[in-house]
Amino acid sequence: MMVTITPARLLGLVGAGLLTVLGLSTALHPIPLVFMLHSIQMTPEDPLDVSPDRFREFVETLSASRTPALFTTDSSDRSVYEVYAAVLEHHRQAAVVFLMPPVIGRPGMLTWDQVRELAARGTIVGSHTLTHPWLPDLSNEELRCELCDSKRRIEKQLGHRITAVAYPYGAFDAGVRRVAVQCGYTQGYATAPGRKVPDTDRLAIKRVPLTESVLRTPLLRWLAASEYYVTVREHLLWSVPIDVPRKPADWSYSAWQRRVKPDAHNACLTAAD
């Protein structure tokens, strides 16, 4: 009996085949759980913030499952000390905080005494640059300032080496990586830069974002804790013609240059003082 392959049937077969391939590819690429969050606020206003109750619930659930994970925050505000580190320490979860040294000590931000206390209690401290620029747009001199000087300032306060950096916006390129290595970093934390970046690349560590919308959506919350969030996201973005990560609409290199005013004496930024 001859089976007629209509265009619709052919399209359905192709679609089913693609879904099978994507499913197998996802299953074969679990990503170790490295979570990324920003500030913890009672009433999150920024899309990247989370509420204390949802954060505690997620950490408690993950801890009960005994799933190995690493939590990271790119925030330097006081919630890191009051909620983030306290919750993770209580549940014996590994924690990293990436700091911008110039904001330490400002109202609502961490103090250096708090940072030293966190480090003494086991929280890993890393750098999040000085002024949070889109790093691929910067010159080598500007990169050295943002990456090397932020590292030196933290090391001076803590008295030990800093080896981890989180790229602002998750943005990096070959030049950024090269300068990061020159500065002495051995780990660079990104977001989800795509399948072209190996999952084992220590200078482009992929992270799972924990946002209020993720934590309040059962499917996304489950996926975030499944080791497949990054892979699924990368497969979905593969079919969409956008940059990963996408440069923020409000970022302007010329405006950044005017704001930071390079210092000719130490090749660094006066805004970071």
Spell 108-137 as b/e; 16+ CB within 10 A means b: ebbebebbeebbeeebbbbbbbbbbbbbbb
* 10 band by pLDDT with thresholds 50, 70 and 90: very low
Is the per-residue pLDDT at 23 higher than 50? no
Mean per-residue pLDDT for 104-119?
98
DSSP three-state, residue 99: strand
Choice among 109-113, 178-182, 261-265 with the minimum mean pLDDT: 261-265
Mean per-residue pLDDT for 104-124?
97
Q: Is 95 within 8 Å of 34 (Cβ atoms)?
A: no
Other residues' Cβ atoms within 10 Å of the Cβ of residue 65: 8
Name every residue whose Cβ is closer than 8 Å to that of residue 94 and which is 6 or more positions away in sequence. 69, 70, 71, 88, 124
pTM: 0.86
Domains observed in the chain? 29-272 (3.20.20.370)
* 265 band by pLDDT with thresholds 50, 70 and 90: very low
Question: pLDDT digit string (tens) for 201-237?
Answer: 999 999 999 999 999 999 999 999 999 998 888 877 7
Residue type, 127: S
DSSP three-state, residue 165: strand
Identify the residue with better confidence: 199 or 73.
73
For position 232, what pLDDT does the model report?
A: 86
Residue type, 46: D
For position 156, what pLDDT does the model report?
A: 97
DSSP three-state, residue 118: helix
Give the alpha-carbon dihedral of 37, 180, 70, 73, to 10 degrees: -20
Beta-ladder partners of 124: 96
Is the per-residue pLDDT at 13 higher than 50? no
Choice among 11-25, 111-125, 165-179 with the minimum mean pLDDT: 11-25
Residue ranges of alpha helices (H) inside 48-131 are: 52-64, 79, 85-90, 112-120
CA 6, chain centre distance (Å): 47
Identify the residue with better confidence: 16 or 149.
149
Cα gap 35→69, rounded to integer Å: 8
